[in-house]
Amino acid sequence: MTLEVLRKHLLDFPVELFVESTSENLIAQMENKKLRGVVFGASGGIDSLVSTALCLKASEKRNSWRVVGLQMNDTRIKGESYNNEMYRDLGIDLIVSDITAEAIFHEKQSGMPPRWLTVCLMKFFLRWTPTMARRRLILALKAGTAPGWALIHFQLLTLLHRLRISKLKEYAARHGLMVIICANRTEGMLGYFVEKGIDDPEMGDYAPISGLYKCQVIHTARFLGLPEKVIRQRPSPGFGGIYDEEIIGPYGLADLVLVGLQLGYSDIEITQAICSYDQKRNRKAPLRRKVPFGIQYVDFIRKLVELNARRK
């Protein structure tokens, strides 16, 4: 029963009304600030493509607007899908730039380790260390209490996100554009973004999907007619061959836990719901690697939410 209540809370939201109200809000902010358009970081993921489509919906009512996507690439990063053709099909101004040299300069200035070493260590950590040990270190990194060596590697991974937001803000100021942040509610509640980075809602002027859980973003993507290729693409933090769900667990489960916490359900009730949901997932994909998503996972998500609340 609990599972049905949580899923209904997540999926029974008025997507058509959301799209319309988001367009009106964006129009009101643009007219109030007297800007000439919007600019966002074009990562290629579902969040940035849904945000793009929402901005285009608003711009259809104001033909003079520019909708600009800045794709700021580090050529050392492999395994990412940027979906340039989809941005162009949508009809935005896509600007691709190479920030590799700037990233290397900042890394050397800060005495950081080689990026290849950091990525290799992170992949090993996420895929081969015991689940509970992995979650403890993730919580320590978010709290800033992890060992020094781990914090250095974490700072290297997050450097690009901070470099990108500075370039995005600079471009916006130069061209009279509003900075759009493409972060969703799931990431916002978990603190699963780089503080003062390109996915931090506080760093922009407007975050159109910041009120949507990840599964609601997917629902909105289908309503807007985005390709199934984008919807099924594995979400990534942009580190290169590393995926969100290796860090925070499946978004379907994380969303259920977050809604359960918001509605005041007990950890046991939430655990029963996610176990029931996970069993259905495993029946559909019997070869999926089995990872424990019990009450310890609920506790892990709760602690991430609490750490993020303290940050505010």
Strand 178-180 with 37-41, pairing: parallel
What pLDDT score was predicted for residue 64? 72
pLDDT tens for the chain, 312 residues long, are 578 888 888 888 899 999 999 999 999 988 888 888 999 999 999 999 999 999 999 888 776 789 999 999 999 998 888 999 999 999 999 999 999 999 999 999 999 999 999 999 999 999 999 999 999 999 999 999 999 999 999 999 999 999 999 999 999 999 999 999 999 999 999 999 988 999 999 999 999 999 999 999 999 999 999 999 999 999 999 888 899 999 999 999 999 999 999 999 999 999 988 887 766 655 554 445 555 578 999 999 999 999 999 876
Strand 93-98 with 178-180, pairing: unpaired
Q: Decide: pTM greater than 0.85.
A: yes
What pLDDT score was predicted for residue 312? 61
114: Cβ contacts below 8 Å, ≥ 6 apart? none
CATH number of 2-311: 3.40.50.620
Return the domain boundaries, the chain. 2-311
What pLDDT score was predicted for residue 36? 85
What pLDDT score was predicted for residue 281? 59
Q: Which token pair is 212? A: 């949507």
CA–CA gap between residue 172 and residue 174 (Å, rounded): 5
